Structure 1
Amino acid sequence: MVRRNTRSHCAFTLVELLVVIAIIGVLVALLLPAIQAAREAARRAQCTNNLHNIGLAVHNYASARNTLPPGDVRDPTFNGGTQVKSMYSWITLIMPYIEEANAHGVMDWTQGLELNQSAINPAHHIFIKTFACPSEINQASEIGIVNPFYGARGNYVGNAGLGWFWAEDVSPNDQLAGWLADTSAGGNPLKARPSTSATGIHMTGLGSFVVSSVDPVKGRRFSEFTDGTSNTAAVSELRLVPDLDTRGAMHFGPASLYMHDWVPNVPSGQLNTLNGFKAEDWTRYCDRLGLPREIAPCKQASDGWKGLWQHSARSYHTGGVNLAMADGSTKFISNDTDLLVWMALGTSDGGEVVDSSF
């Protein structure tokens, strides 16, 4: 007798298969934003941790030296006293406090960058991981160094206050004297504009990091922060640009600083209602091709390296930037922060009252 196999064969129809694929696609579409958001949250947390460590290094330097590191150390005797030369920055000075003592020690910083640029593995070419935000789209492998003179770049820059940075000042007094001489409205620094001759245009000297002569090397004291260290910004973020763009060059003073004239991540082309200038960084080797203009707008610094510089806080985090305060705490500052509040955070002794809910 022949037995027949009465078992039915189970299989998906084409319609059922398409429905399953569609459901999987919808689930993936729903999950991807959540995964991306979780990854960005992790990157932002790492960025915050970097800023915390940098703030701690600044405090350790201050404990050892009784002053904060100056933002830019300059030699006024360079070239027989006919030219002021930037020697190194606040980042250079805190290297021993972020576990980079060996890198700091392989280079004679008293010679200046121009005498070390051809040395084997000079310290100012070394990438410092603590200064890299993981949300930056141009990571170290793409950024590398600016060129043999300026060296490596990083995402974290020190608060220089308000205004334009004139790269031949040698002291906070020079900065303030030049700035106040060129302000309008009774010396109100919020309304100052650079003069056409660039004479008297200086960094305000109101921020956490000031200029110092190489002898002696001296920055701000915490006792000078009459606004309170919890109300004064210390270090924020900066977007990097490939090729020769100097923004973020760690060991060149003007490139390692930023100002509070614009709120974080200010849109390209927006006008500052106080002084009428467009939102763009003033920097050397401004690169408008490396990134879309709206991401990192810029214009060439006047008069080469010694001219006017001004950088703004920018990041790739959604909605704002991470900020390390002068007291060592860290905050996330929204792009929607009021401009006057942001300016007040940029000054250490401006006398403004800042709402703690900023």
Structure 2
Amino acid sequence: MFFLRRQHRAAFTLVELLVVIAIIGVLVGLLLPAVQAAREAARRMSCSNNFKQIGLGIHNYHAAYNKMPQHMSGPAEPNVPEHDPRVDTNQMQNSFLVGILPFLEQQAIWEQISNPLVSMPDGSLRPGGPWQPFGPSHDVDEGSNERRGWFYAPWITELPTLRCPSDPGRGVPAQGRTNYAACMGDSIERLNRGTRAWWSLTVEDSDSAQEGRAACRGAFIARSQTGFRDILDGLANTVVAGEIATDLGDRDVRTNPGKVTGAYTNPEACQSERDPERPLFWRATTNVNAKDSDSWTLRYGRGYRWASGYGLYSGFNTILPPNEAACHDDNGDWRPHRDDGTLPPSSRHQGGVHILMADGAVKFVTDSIESGNRQATPVRLSNVAPDPRPGSQSPYGLWGALGTRASKETIEEEL
């Protein structure tokens, strides 16, 4: 009797193999967004934790000195104009982040800054003697005065605590980047000078003081001291710091401010300069801070210098909502970081930014937060109708109210 032996296949057929590959591809396609979302959630949590450390640093500083760290601090040369950068003094340019370094477990770099520093970044001795305490000006002057901040090691040191993991920006043309910035209120005018006279930062003349007090309504005032006692709207209702994305050299409207005339009185003056086909970027013809064709100006990007207090690098205002276009008033200054303008917070997170409240709480604010009349002239010392008078409530709705320290707004919404 003969038996037929059953034949066994040794491998998949081509059709079966293609089916298996297709199933694997579908599974990967379904799982990949979840994996990416989980990674971004972890990065966002790390970013929030960094902000909590900064908030704790501000509170510990206040507990030690009964005041907040000054934004734009340091020594200044008497009777020297603000626009004259120095190598022997920093002209009151240091950001609030410099002041809280000892409270961020950065004692080593604080010791370098607060004492004379004899060395250059490469370890060699500085020609002409040590750097003065609190460092030189942060301004970039190629080929003169040793390029100031570029040859001062602390200014080009990047600190992990000041970086959001979601932001991919690294290295030059920045010095040391930061993703966390001071809240300067809901105005444009005197964003960088505060109450100081233009001709001498050691002087508060009558006009400068009046203009500064009228316009500078945030928890931080450039080149002036503030404390929790000044935040009359309540610590839980006032923003002290917010997130900013750093510039990647791609003409992003959030990180490379447009430059137009009229931005002082119209915060949306730059909106028409967006590329209609790529609205997150400027037109190729738009005048911007960091120009692709000019290696010099490429250094003027958002968040490029953690230790510099200029609004471009470490400040923001609560006029336009998060992730809107940044816009400088073009006053012809060849150093565009000195221009005042509309500087919203921004981030690489989806749909919003982290903000730090004065009570130390970290909250996530969406891009759609109510922001009132975006074309309204900011509060300032002005007799021109219909400009809002000094002391007025913010014209920028809930977002503007969160940015002011003592404008008597009532905030009932939970962020």
Deviation at 1:10, TM superposition (A): 4.4
The superposition leaves residues 275-294 of structure 1 with CA deviations (integer Å, 9 ceiling, x where unpaired) of xxxx4232xxxxxxxxxxxx
TM value normalised by structure 1 = 0.74
What residue is the counterpart of 1:205 in the other structure? 216
Matched, 1:163 2:194: no
Q: 1:342 aligns with which of 399, 405, 408?
A: 399
For residues 125-144 of structure 1, the aligned pairs below 5 Å read: 125-138=156-169, 140=170, 143-144=171-172
The superposition leaves residues 95-139 of structure 1 with CA deviations (integer Å, 9 ceiling, x where unpaired) of 11111121122132165446783686521111011111011132x
- CA–CA distance in structure 2, aligned partners of residues 15 and 119 of structure 1: 63
What residue is the counterpart of 1:263 in the other structure? 321
Please say if residues 193 and 222 of structure 2, whose CA atoms lie closer than 8 Å, have aligned partners that are also in contact. Answer: no
What residue is the counterpart of 1:280 in the other structure? 326
What residue is the counterpart of 2:11 in the other structure? 11
Deviation at 1:310, TM superposition (A): 3.8
Deviation at 1:224, TM superposition (A): 1.4
Q: How many residues align?
A: 295
Structure 2, unmatched stretches of 5+, are: 84-90, 114-132, 140-144, 197-203, 249-297, 372-396
Please say if residues 71 and 257 of structure 1, whose CA atoms lie closer than 8 Å, have aligned partners that are also in contact. Answer: no
TM value normalised by structure 2 = 0.64
Structure holding more helix per residue: 1
- CA–CA distance in structure 2, aligned partners of residues 113 and 180 of structure 1: 26
Deviation at 1:240, TM superposition (A): 0.8
Q: Flag the 1:129–1:169 CA change in 2: closer, same or farther, 3 A.
A: same
What residue is the counterpart of 1:270 in the other structure? none
Task: Tell me: higher relative CO, structure 1 or 2? Use CA pairs within 8 A at least 6 residues apart.
Answer: 1
Deviation at 1:77, TM superposition (A): 3.5
The superposition leaves residues 46-78 of structure 1 with CA deviations (integer Å, 9 ceiling, x where unpaired) of 000010001111111111111011221265544
Aligned residues: percent identity? 31
Please say if residues 315 and 343 of structure 2, whose CA atoms lie closer than 8 Å, have aligned partners that are also in contact. Answer: yes
Q: 2:177 aligns with which of 148, 153, 157?
A: 153
Q: Flag the 1:136–1:110 CA change in 2: closer, same or farther, 3 A.
A: closer
Equivalent position SS for 1:87: coil
What residue is the counterpart of 1:178 in the other structure? 211
Deviates more, 1:162-171 or 1:24-33: 162-171
What residue is the counterpart of 2:307 in the other structure? 251
What residue is the counterpart of 2:105 in the other structure? 99
| Letter aligned with residue 211 of structure 1 | A
Equivalent position SS for 2:93: strand
| Letter aligned with residue 183 of structure 2 | N
| Letter aligned with residue 258 of structure 1 | F
- CA–CA distance in structure 1, aligned partners of residues 354 and 152 of structure 2: 31
Deviates more, 1:238-247 or 1:320-329: 238-247
Matched, 1:354 2:411: yes
- CA–CA distance in structure 1, aligned partners of residues 246 and 331 of structure 2: 17
The superposition leaves residues 306-336 of structure 1 with CA deviations (integer Å, 9 ceiling, x where unpaired) of 4324421111111111111110011111111
- CA–CA distance in structure 1, aligned partners of residues 70 and 158 of structure 2: 21
What residue is the counterpart of 2:153 in the other structure? 122
| Letter aligned with residue 30 of structure 1 | L
What residue is the counterpart of 1:238 in the other structure? 244
Equivalent position SS for 1:105: helix
The superposition leaves residues 10-58 of structure 1 with CA deviations (integer Å, 9 ceiling, x where unpaired) of 4322222111111111111100110111011001000000100011111
Please say if residues 71 and 160 of structure 1, whose CA atoms lie closer than 8 Å, have aligned partners that are also in contact. Answer: no
- CA–CA distance in structure 1, aligned partners of residues 331 and 159 of structure 2: 26
RMSD between aligned alpha carbons? 2.8
- CA–CA distance in structure 1, aligned partners of residues 36 and 12 of structure 2: 33
Please say if residues 239 and 314 of structure 1, whose CA atoms lie closer than 8 Å, have aligned partners that are also in contact. Answer: yes
Matched, 1:328 2:346: no
- CA–CA distance in structure 2, aligned partners of residues 208 and 124 of structure 1: 25
